Amino acid sequence: MPMNRKKKLIRNIITILILFIVFVKGSGLYFTPMGAHRDSERTAHYGPSEIVHIEDFENGKYILCRYDKWFSCNTVNRRLIFFWRFGNQVHGWENDVTIPLNYSWDRDGSFGKAFGIINDKNIKKVEVVLDNGTTIYQEDFYENMFLITWKSDNTTDFSGIRAYDGEGNIVFEKIYPVRVNPNR
């Protein structure tokens, strides 16, 4: 018994939608950044974490999180105009409360970020030092967490971090030697 045009159209639309959903799920693409973030944590057997702050950047979003005694900053990247895919750093770093400031940093191409958790209530400013001498700081924190981001020319890298109290005294400092290899 032949189908009329309307039934064929409905059947074809349903078939296309099913194939589209299978393609999206199979390719690791998500319709929302939070969907990509949730699945990235699930894939890493981490979380679900409490989202403390979300910050947009050119390629997507940074999602600063806390889970139990860990902190993390997941990257979720925009793909194919309106899809999302999880990036890196979903794994948490354990917060050692005996240290005034716990942090991690990462660079993906020309996008860098330093993030962490502040354990010393006297810390009022966190400063990141790049190996070209540039300093970037943050004074307004997200609860007791920070996220400092930068865009570089693919050669500028994280060189260290400092934390200051309200009077400008250094409470925490970790500076790494500058690498001299220009081809990093």
Question: What is residue 150's predicted lDDT score, i.e. its pLDDT?
Answer: 93
For the stretch 52-66, what's the b/e string if a residue is b when 16 or more beta carbons lie within 10 angstroms of its beta carbon? bbbeeeeebbbbbbb
Residue at token pair 């309200």: 166
- pTM of the full structure: 0.81
Tell me the domains of the chain and their CATH numbers.
Answer: 30-175 (2.60.40.10)
Rounded Cα gap, residues 99 and 110, in angstroms: 30
pLDDT tens, position by position, 77-123: 998 888 888 887 677 899 999 999 999 998 888 899 999 999 999 99
Rounded Cα gap, residues 112 and 3, in angstroms: 57
pLDDT tens, position by position, 29-65: 888 888 888 888 887 778 788 999 999 999 899 999 9
Bridge partner residues of 37 (DSSP): none
